[in-house]
Amino acid sequence: MARVLNNLLLFLIRLALKIRVWGYWTLIYGYCALCTTAALLKLCWNIVLRPTTTFQWGIRETPPACLNDTSLGTHCYVRIKESGLRFHYVAAGERGKPLMLFLHGFPEFWFSWRYQLREFKSEFRVVAVDMRGYGESDLPLSTENYQLDHLVTDVKDIVEYLGYNRCCLVGHDWGGTIAWLFAIHYPEMVTKLIVLNCPHPSVFTDYALRHPSQLLKSSHFFFFQLPRFPELMLSINDFKALKALFTSRNTGIGRKGRWLTAEDLEAYLYALSQPGALTGALNYYRNVFSSLPLSHKHVRSPVLLLWGERDAFLEQEMAEACRLYIRNHFRLNIISGASHWLQQDQPDIVNTLIWTFLKEGEGRKSYRN
Phi and psi at residue 68, to the nearest 5°: -115, 20
Contact 358, 168 (CB under 8 A): yes
* 150 belongs to the catalytic site: no
Question: Which one, of 108, 71, 109, lies nearest residue 92 by Cα?
Answer: 71
In DSSP notation, 303-339 reads EEEEEETT-SSS-THHHHHGGGGB-S-EEEEEETT--
Residue 120 is which amino acid? F
Indicate the SS3 state at residue 106: coil
Distance of CA 180 to the CA centre of its chain: 11
The enclosing H or E element of 126 equals strand 125-129
Is 285 a catalytic site residue? yes
85 to 56, 139, 182, 185, 293: CA distances (angstroms): 32, 8, 19, 22, 28
Out of 146, 207, 268, 285, the active site residue is: 285
DSSP 8-state class, residue 150 = H
β partners of residue 167: 190
Give the separation between CA 355 and CA 116, rounded to whole angstroms.
11
Give yes or no for a contact between 116 and 347, defined as CB atoms under 8 angstroms apart: yes
Count of Cβ atoms closer than 10 Å to residue 252 Cβ? 21
Q: Which of 130, 138, 154, 173 is catalytic?
A: 173
> Which residues, in sequence order, are bridge partners of residue 99?
125
Catalytic status, residue 345? no
Q: Is 128 left (phi over 0), alpha (psi -120 to 50) or beta?
A: beta
> Are residues 90 and 120 in contact, defined by beta-carbon separation less than 8 angstroms?
no
Q: What is the dihedral of CA 32, 33, 37, 42, to 10 degrees?
A: 10
Encoded amino acid at 99, one letter: L
Distances (CA, A) of 134 to 21, 163, 221, 284: 33, 23, 18, 11
**Residues annotated catalytic, as ranges:** 173, 285, 340
